Structure 1
């Protein structure tokens, strides 16, 4: 899921060697020969993407950059294009980091995804209120949305391939999230956001993005919302499934149901923020709402000294299971994007419990490929 700076710092602080002598064998790099590179293995199937943080965008983490350039052909901005970053004050835009992100993608001829234009979390602090701290009128809110979207999308017109226009507007029971956008503008804030983005760049792809899409009630809520947008004449090119998964949730069948349901609208389907946590949940049915917080408990941080071999195998088998599903539906899926490069980059190290150590990605804290990456590549060799 999406990450705030504090969480990022916690994740970085937790970096250490991933395996001890009592744990699984050290992860090893795989060859970068064409048939052992993720993006090349899947080049005729779908794009392989990853989210970039600032150290990677600015080249301060060369090991990560090497992995990104070798194995991925699509990138998404983890934080640098969010509202609080690009417009911290009304009318004052800061594109330094976003410009560098786009330059990185262009230099490496990657599919560049902008994330995100409208989201209830991490907006500019001033966005919803007037000088007296009261909610602005509907008219003012719409104009602020329009100006923000026009300015950001126009700047990267013809350079960014697609935008997550709206992020996480539906909750798990299928109802609308009662965000400030919803409270001030109403349901049509989404329709307006897609309208403004299309006007700013008629050729860019436009996406809706959300988590827990395998929850049946939420899946149907998203389906109804997007269906209405399309019926009302809005262009929605794709729906992003944030696959923030665990070792035993969601079920493969429910993810497949979601792929089929969303694609029935005539839209592309994208896996947008994938990782697989190995850590126990703090409570049942947690989604990926970044405002959720739980107190640290030792029993919820069981792998501080490295990941046991049986857990390494579990997460590997789980990734292979998902990639088999994605290959089965390659005609519907446009890209599969991991939410981070190496384990130390993942927001899951600090959410929802600060200080935990997780192992949810394809590359370890040294940016070596985990053994099961070769298994994922081998799926397309058969």
Structure 2
């Protein structure tokens, strides 16, 4: 081994650093003058069950989102039962490491507790009762974490692909007023917290315009909304850099911050003609849909790095409009895209591989700041 490399490794070990990061700038430090760098964490990571993962999370990121543990079915499983254990641990982890915390998510039609829309007799509740239940849910949760959780995804995925309102049970019972009420209740519970609307495919023109309509509607009623969360579940080819830039500029014109809340880039072929993040969709696996079960070819690794570099060059260009970029998962082995929309595939969507090592994409992202 080269004697200088040996010296670096020795010094890194003495300092308690992984040699892997001895010469690597962390994401949060590289982008400290640009925007927050966040990661979605699962239950095991919230519980700090794996020290290597905890160290990677705290060294690389300065914003935390619970991947699932703050969704309604987990945090409010029964009408008069709240389960704050995991959210408390998330807040404690963030507080110990000076991290920004996003509560995800208050009102969403999916991963919902079964009691929400039903009376004791099993009938569907009316608008007045649903409004009461939304208020109790939000005021209890946001109120408990007032001053501890910095921002909330207040309403998640309320739009259909054409930009109209999704025909969820929330909408069928309450119309668009459920969105107004959710934002009002959240602001009342914690006036200082940032409040966001979050959805997928918000780069697509129809859905983008739908989100802008929601933002402008809330603002017209003097209802606080601070940002739009663009779930960036993208591929090597879509959406185009030009379309992403147009969306950033149009959202910023409404006066809200832009967040890229669920960034990952699939390298696998899509079984459909247009992207989606609808969790109810699934397809059958086959070798054509899972071409890299034993590792990613260098050529595709380069494609992924180049794609991430293009995206972050754009983000840097518009850093005055962007508040945060959050990766949806810490490393490739934990990416939900291994199982969606086809279960059992091997995808490589993130900046760290299955051994927690930084990929070419990691270095390409860092270099967009350094060069």
Query: TM-score per shorter chain, which class?
Result: over 0.9
Aligned residues: 354
8 Å CA contact 1:29, 1:370 repeated in 2: no
**Separation in 2, partners of 1:238, 1:249:** 23
**Is 2:50 the partner of 1:84?**
no
**Separation in 2, partners of 1:32, 1:60:** 24
Counting only pairs closer than 5 Å after superposition, residues 31-50 of structure 1 correspond to structure 2 as: 31-32=21-22, 36-50=25-39
Alignment partner, residue 101 of structure 1: 90
Alignment partner, residue 310 of structure 1: 299
8 Å CA contact 1:29, 1:368 repeated in 2: no
Provide, for residues 285-315 of structure 1, a one-character-per-residue CA deviation record: whole Å limited to 9, x for no partner. Answer: 1310111111222211111111111111111
**Is 2:355 the partner of 1:375?**
no
8 Å CA contact 1:36, 1:374 repeated in 2: no
Provide, for residues 99-148 of structure 1, a one-character-per-residue CA deviation record: whole Å limited to 9, x for no partner. Answer: 11111111111011110000011111110111232211111100000000
SS in 1 for 2:21: coil
Provide, for residues 49-98 of structure 1, a one-character-per-residue CA deviation record: whole Å limited to 9, x for no partner. Answer: 00010111111122211111111011111111100001111110111111
**Separation in 1, partners of 2:279, 2:182:** 22
Moved more, 368-377 or 255-264: 368-377
**Separation in 2, partners of 1:78, 1:326:** 23
8 Å CA contact 2:301, 2:360 repeated in 1: no
Provide, for residues 218-248 of structure 1, a one-character-per-residue CA deviation record: whole Å limited to 9, x for no partner. Answer: 1011111110110111010000111000011
CA shift for structure 1 position 30: 4.4
Moved more, 35-44 or 238-247: 35-44
Provide, for residues 184-232 of structure 1, a one-character-per-residue CA deviation record: whole Å limited to 9, x for no partner. Answer: 1111110000000000011111000011011101101111111011011
**Separation in 1, partners of 2:222, 2:84:** 31
8 Å CA contact 2:302, 2:360 repeated in 1: no
**Separation in 2, partners of 1:229, 1:219:** 16
8 Å CA contact 1:172, 1:217 repeated in 2: yes
Q: 2:114 aligns with which of 122, 125, 133?
A: 125
Provide, for residues 151-195 of structure 1, a one-character-per-residue CA deviation record: whole Å limited to 9, x for no partner. Answer: 110111000010000001112111100001000111111000000
CA shift for structure 1 position 334: 0.5
**Separation in 2, partners of 1:29, 1:116:** 37
Alignment partner, residue 226 of structure 2: 237
**Separation in 2, partners of 1:295, 1:375:** 34
Q: 1:263 aligns with which of 233, 240, 252?
A: 252
SS in 1 for 2:370: coil
TM-score, with length taken from structure 1? 0.91
Alignment partner, residue 276 of structure 1: 265
**Separation in 1, partners of 2:80, 2:249:** 42
Moved more, 364-373 or 155-164: 364-373
8 Å CA contact 1:52, 1:75 repeated in 2: yes
Larger RCO (CA within 8 A; separation ≥ 6): 1
Alignment partner, residue 202 of structure 1: 191
**Separation in 2, partners of 1:148, 1:88:** 11
Alignment partner, residue 238 of structure 2: 249
Is there any run of 5+ residues in structure 2 with no aligned partner, and where? 1-17
Is there any run of 5+ residues in structure 1 with no aligned partner, and where? 1-27
Displaced runs of 4 or more, over 3 A: none
**Separation in 2, partners of 1:69, 1:372:** 19
**Separation in 1, partners of 2:182, 2:205:** 26
SS in 1 for 2:234: strand
TM-score, with length taken from structure 2? 0.93
Q: 1:331 aligns with which of 311, 320, 326?
A: 320
8 Å CA contact 1:340, 1:361 repeated in 2: yes
CA shift for structure 1 position 32: 4.9
Q: CA RMSD in A?
A: 1.2
**Separation in 2, partners of 1:127, 1:268:** 31
**Higher Cα radius of gyration:** 2
Alignment partner, residue 345 of structure 2: 356
Alignment partner, residue 157 of structure 2: 168
Alignment partner, residue 295 of structure 1: 284
**Separation in 2, partners of 1:350, 1:372:** 22
SS in 2 for 1:361: coil
**Separation in 1, partners of 2:65, 2:217:** 27
